[in-house]
């Protein structure tokens, strides 16, 4: 009886070791994830303290610029996707906060001036629709990382990639598109604002479900809102802006472009304009070299970033052209016309503003 018992014990020990070691990934996937996480843009993500994965706290320096092998690749896939998803969560917090304040401004206008309230509401609807390309790129980035796992979450029914529900809901705004053209009467405007308020509140609730994976850097959104009001008042005095909702529309444009540039293009994600799909490039590997230690060629990196900006910009233009929307106002047209000649991700020159920022009230783009 002793011999069979020992064989059984050894059998269990063998499978225990095999299970604990886990199933390793493919070298190709390891090279792809290693190349992705070594892109310089990842070091500029500074809005996440740490992520929570399997009851452990994982810090950014444990994810970024560390050698990825076929043995630890699966862990880095999950760490990378959650880390990026948490950073997107911070961005969406700012976006939804801005949209809600935008909505409240339109609602206040409705009490005194239905024409201005109508312009405000139609502009808000247009901005919500403008968010869709950004949401698709976010979703594509997270799914592209997940595809390098042995068991991708986005093809399993039991689990979902972080932010999947939020981003799906962001894209499903057909009921809001149907509101345009919007009649200039209080009942129609009020009904539209009610639907917008429900839409924003639903997205904020969905977003809260993802916070459990993240420990985010504290961001004082109310101070940010006060700062924006100061900026608007200064620009309004200079005759640059006449309406707060035009100013907020431009702020949302800036947020969208900043997120796409800093949290997609500069992180190394590629976009296929023909298929409208995100993919991760396979790095050119040399079998005689350790690919986990190859430095990034900064000249080539800058060239690829600029090329990808043009591709993504063309995608956004194509998306906007595919939507049959009535232009909201001449004022909005005028402001958009100014924006059309801007280079994507070009820093906005605020040197003419007489606003003094304290250390804890810096402009939004400095936080990312």
Query: 333 pLDDT band (50/70/90 cuts)?
Result: very low
pLDDT of 24 reads 81
Query: In sequence order, what are the residues at sequence separation of 6 or more whose Cβ sits closer than 8 angstroms to the Cβ of residue 233?
Result: none
Query: 323 pLDDT band (50/70/90 cuts)?
Result: confident
Beta bridge partners of 270: 279
For residue 111, count other CB atoms closer than 10 A to its CB.
9
Tell me how far apart the alpha carbons of residues 360 and 227 are, in angstroms, rounded to a whole number.
Answer: 11
Query: 103 pLDDT band (50/70/90 cuts)?
Result: very high
Tell me the pairing of strands 214-216 and 277-279: unpaired
Say if 55 falls within a structural domain.
Answer: yes
Say if 289 falls within a structural domain.
Answer: yes
> What percent of the residues of the chain are helix, what percent strand, and what percent coil, each to the nearest 5?
65, 5, 30
**CA torsion sign, 351 to 357 to 359 to 363?**
negative
Query: 349 pLDDT band (50/70/90 cuts)?
Result: very low
Say if 285 falls within a structural domain.
Answer: yes
Asked if pLDDT for residue 185 goes beyond 50, the answer is yes
Long-range CB contacts (< 8 A, 24+ apart) of 103-107?
103/193, 103/196, 103/197, 103/200, 105/244, 105/245, 105/248, 106/189, 106/193, 106/245, 107/193
**CA torsion sign, 77 to 302 to 365 to 108?**
negative
Say if 17 falls within a structural domain.
Answer: no
Say if 9 falls within a structural domain.
Answer: no
pLDDT tens digits, one per residue of 162-184? 898 899 888 888 788 888 889 99
Percentage of the chain beyond pLDDT 70 is 77
Tell me how far apart the alpha carbons of residues 13 and 143 are, in angstroms, rounded to a whole number.
Answer: 36
CA-derived radius of gyration, the chain: 24
Residue of 143, 144, 85 whose CA lies nearest to 280: 144
Asked if pLDDT for residue 2 goes beyond 60, the answer is no
Asked if pLDDT for residue 19 goes beyond 90, the answer is no
Tell me how far apart the alpha carbons of residues 81 and 144 are, in angstroms, rounded to a whole number.
Answer: 9
Say if 19 falls within a structural domain.
Answer: no
Question: What does the DSSP 8-state code read for residue 150?
Answer: S
Q: Could you tell me the residue range of the domain that residue 349 belongs to?
A: 25-367
Tell whether pTM > 0.85: no
Domains held by the chain: number: 1
Asked if pLDDT for residue 335 goes beyond 80, the answer is no
Say if 13 falls within a structural domain.
Answer: no
Query: In sequence order, what are the residues at sequence separation of 6 or more whose Cβ sits closer than 8 angstroms to the Cβ of residue 85?
Result: 142, 161, 162, 163, 210, 213, 214
**CA torsion sign, 116 to 122 to 125 to 131?**
negative
Tell me how far apart the alpha carbons of residues 63 and 47 are, in angstroms, rounded to a whole number.
Answer: 15
Say if 15 falls within a structural domain.
Answer: no
pLDDT: is 280 or 320 the higher one? 280
């Amino acid at each position: 009886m002793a011999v069979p018992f020992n064989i059984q014990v050894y059998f269990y020990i063998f499978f225990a070791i095999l299970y604990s070691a886990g199933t390793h990934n493919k070298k190709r996937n390891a090279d792809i994830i290693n190349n992705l996480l070594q892109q310089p843009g990842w070091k500029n993500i500074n809005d996440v303290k740490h992520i929570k994965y399997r009851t452990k706290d994982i810090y950014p320096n444990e994810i970024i610029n560390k050698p990825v092998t076929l043995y630890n690749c699966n862990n880095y896939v999950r760490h990378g996707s959650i880390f990026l998803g948490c950073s997107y969560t911070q961005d969406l917090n700012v976006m939804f906060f801005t949209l809600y304040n935008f909505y409240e401004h339109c609602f206040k206008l409705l009490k005194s001036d239905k024409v201005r309230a109508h312009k405000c509401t139609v502009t808000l609807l247009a901005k919500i629709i403008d968010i869709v390309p950004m949401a698709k790129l976010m979703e594509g980035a997270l799914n592209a990382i997940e595809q390098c796992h042995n068991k991708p979450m986005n093809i399993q029914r039991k689990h979902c990639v972080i932010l999947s529900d939020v981003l799906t809901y962001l894209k499903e705004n057909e009921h809001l598109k149907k509101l345009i053209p919007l009649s200039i009467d209080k009942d129609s405007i009020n009904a539209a604002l009610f639907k917008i308020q429900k839409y924003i509140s639903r997205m904020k609730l969905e977003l809260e479900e993802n916070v459990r994976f993240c420990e985010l850097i504290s961001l004082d959104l109310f101070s940010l809102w006060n700062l924006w009001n100061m900026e608007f008042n200064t620009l309004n005095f200079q005759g640059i802006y006449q309406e707060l909702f035009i100013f907020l529309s431009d702020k949302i444009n800036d947020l969208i472009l900043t997120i796409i540039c800093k949290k997609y293009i500069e992180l190394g994600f590629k976009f296929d304009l023909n298929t409208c799909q995100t993919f991760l490039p396979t790095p050119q590997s040399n079998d005689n070299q350790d690919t986990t230690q190859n430095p990034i060629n900064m000249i080539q990196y800058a060239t690829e970033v600029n090329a990808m900006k043009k591709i993504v910009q063309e995608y956004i233009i194509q998306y906007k052209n595919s939507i049959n929307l009535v232009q909201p106002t001449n004022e909005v047209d005028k402001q958009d016309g100014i924006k059309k000649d801007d280079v994507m991700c070009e820093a906005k020159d605020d040197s003419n503003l007489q606003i003094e920022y304290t250390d804890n009230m810096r402009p939004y783009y400095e936080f990312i």
